């Protein structure tokens, strides 16, 4: 509904915008034609008033004609400059309005997604716990329900962390700490946590020991969770996810690879925009807010690092992070 609202707002704006622009351009052309007509009339009038018998007749005629030419050049050049400035201004206004509208639409989608994302895990966890409390269940059934509740609270944790962090990462400047921490340990812990949350999934981890970086450990944990979450979310259940960490000269290189649908070339930059979600069926049918990768990129940038996404051959995507190593 809200999406339609912004669509109509955009249609309305477009109608007025193009209408006004067409009117201004038409007025400009009309002014040019009027001025030019006046210019010619003036020339004709002045030529008619010349004395044809005069010795200076030719010279005066030349003068009048060149004045007419000068005036025409002036009108054309001023008209072109004005038109160019007008078109440039119109382009800037139109582009920023379009961006604003699509941002508002994404924000509205985000609000709806958040509401949904908050409600679902709470309801599922509650149902699982109530079932355990009120029914006599076998050990294995209880384990399954608890596993379910654990996975849902984990999702809730990632979501609330993302929302709480969203405003903080937008503050300018880098991270405020100079304390190093061991990225290898953090990654191993995160992988262990995800293996417990998703026992049916296979997560292959190859983690080089003692890789340390300077930064906010809690933030880095959120970045890693987002990448693992996405890899598990956007790849089929039967495919493995591979996580790798190694040191390469002065950098720590961390990659998360999946065998999912992959990310089209045209979307590779956009997925890091705030609230952006690829508009295909696979994404639409999965839950999400479009905040995860935006935050991940901001967090990595605050650690003086960079993140990029590549194609995983033959299928899927690889997110690669590079962060400066802490030199002991
Ligand atoms: P979301 O909450 O939608 O997962 P993200 O910011 O984490 O938000 O991701 C943005 C979009 O990038 C997703 O909606 C999805 O379309 C795409 N995406 C992210 N990770 C992957 C992946 N591993 N495989 C395929 N598509 C992905």
Q: Supply the CATH number for residue 227's domain.
A: 3.30.565.10
Which tokens go with 214?
A: 């300077």
**Cβ partners under 8 Å of residue 110, min gap 6:** 275, 289, 290, 291
Q: How many independent structural domains does the chain possess?
A: 3
Say whether both 307 and 183 belong to one domain: yes
Residue 214 phi/psi, 5-degree rounding, is -95, 135
Give the pLDDT score at 171: 76
**Shortest-distance Cα residue to atom 11 of ligand 1:** 277
Say whether both 189 and 310 belong to one domain: yes
Q: Supply the CATH number for residue 124's domain.
A: 1.10.287
**Residues 302, 215: contact at Cβ < 8 Å?**
yes
**Residues 275, 260: contact at Cβ < 8 Å?**
no
CA 245 to CA 258: how far, in whole Å? 15
Q: How far is the CA of 238 from the centre of ligand 1 (A)?
A: 19
Report the pLDDT averaged over residues 168-187. 84
How much is the mean pLDDT over the chain?
Answer: 90
CA 255 to CA 61: how far, in whole Å? 81
Give the pLDDT score at 282: 60
Residue 144 phi/psi, 5-degree rounding, is -65, -45
84-88, 117-121, 270-274, 279-283: least confident range = 279-283
Say whether both 129 and 102 belong to one domain: no
Say whether both 190 and 320 belong to one domain: yes
Say whether both 245 and 140 belong to one domain: no
DSSP alpha helix (H) spans, 175-260: 183-197, 217-233
Number of H helices, E strands in the chain: 7, 7
Q: Is 292 in the pocket of ligand 1 (CB under 6 A)?
A: yes
Record the pTM.
0.71
Beta bridge partner(s), residue 242: 204, 257
**Residues 233, 283: contact at Cβ < 8 Å?**
no
Say whether both 75 and 201 belong to one domain: no
pLDDT digits (tens, 9 = 90+) for 238-248: 999 999 999 99
**Residues 154, 197: contact at Cβ < 8 Å?**
yes
Which tokens go with 68?
A: 């007419």
| Domain assignment of residue 71, given as a range | 2-108
The answer on pLDDT for 4 being more than 70 is no
Q: For residue 62, what is the enclosing H or E element? A: helix 57-134
Say whether both 312 and 184 belong to one domain: yes
CA 200 to CA 237: how far, in whole Å? 8
User: From the alpha carbon of 283, which atom of ligand 1 is closest?
Assistant: 16
CA 245 to CA 187: how far, in whole Å? 8
65-81 burial by CB neighbour count: b if 16+ within 10 A, else e?
eeebeebbeebeeebee
User: From the alpha carbon of 295, which atom of ligand 1 is closest?
Assistant: 6
pLDDT-based confidence at 8, cuts 50/70/90? low
User: From the alpha carbon of 277, which atom of ligand 1 is closest?
Assistant: 14
User: What is the DSSP secondary-structure string of 306-327?
Assistant: EEEEEEPSSSSEEEEEEEEPPP
pLDDT-based confidence at 137, cuts 50/70/90? confident
Q: How far is the CA of 95 from the centre of ligand 1 (A)?
A: 25
Q: Is 259 in the pocket of ligand 1 (CB under 6 A)?
A: no
Residue that terminates a domain, selected from 74, 108, 142: 108
Residue that terminates a domain, selected from 171, 188, 206: 171
Residue that terminates a domain, selected from 108, 136, 152: 108
């Amino acid at each position: 509904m809200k999406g339609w609202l912004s669509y109509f707002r955009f249609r309305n704006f477009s109608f007025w915008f193009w209408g006004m622009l067409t009117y201004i351009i038409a007025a400009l052309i009309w002014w040019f034609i009027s001025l030019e007509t006046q210019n010619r009339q003036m020339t004709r009038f002045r030529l008619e008033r010349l004395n044809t018998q005069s010795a200076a007749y030719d010279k005066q005629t030349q003068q009048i004609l060149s004045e007419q030419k000068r005036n025409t050049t002036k009108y054309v050049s001023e008209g072109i400059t004005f038109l160019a400035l007008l078109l440039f201004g119109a382009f800037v206004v139109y582009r920023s309005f379009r961006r604003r509208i699509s941002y508002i639409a994404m924000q509205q989608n985000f609000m709806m997604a958040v509401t949904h994302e908050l409600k679902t895990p709470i309801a599922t966890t509650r149902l699982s716990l109530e079932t355990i409390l009120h029914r006599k269940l076998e050990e294995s059934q209880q384990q399954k329900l608890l596993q379910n509740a654990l996975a849902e609270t984990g999702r809730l944790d990632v979501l609330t962390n993302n929302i709480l962090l969203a405003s903080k990462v937008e503050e300018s400047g880098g991270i405020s700490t100079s304390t190093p921490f061991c990225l290898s340990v953090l990654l191993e812990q995160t992988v262990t946590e995800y293996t417990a949350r998703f026992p049916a999934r296979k997560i292959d981890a190859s983690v080089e020991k003692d890789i340390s970086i300077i930064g906010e450990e809690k933030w880095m944990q959120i970045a890693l969770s987002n990448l693992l979450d996405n890899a598990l979310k956007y790849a089929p259940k039967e495919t493995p996810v591979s996580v790798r960490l190694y040191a390469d000269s002065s950098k720590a290189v961390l990659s998360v690879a999946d065998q999912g649908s992959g990310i089209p070339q045209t979307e590779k930059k956009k997925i890091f925009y705030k609230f952006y979600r690829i508009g295909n069926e696979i994404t639409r049918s999965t839950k999400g807010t479009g905040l995860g990768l935006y935050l991940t990129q901001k967090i990595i940038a605050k650690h003086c690092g960079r993140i990029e996404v590549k194609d995983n051959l033959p299928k899927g995507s690889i997110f690669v992070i590079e962060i400066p190593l802490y030199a002991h």
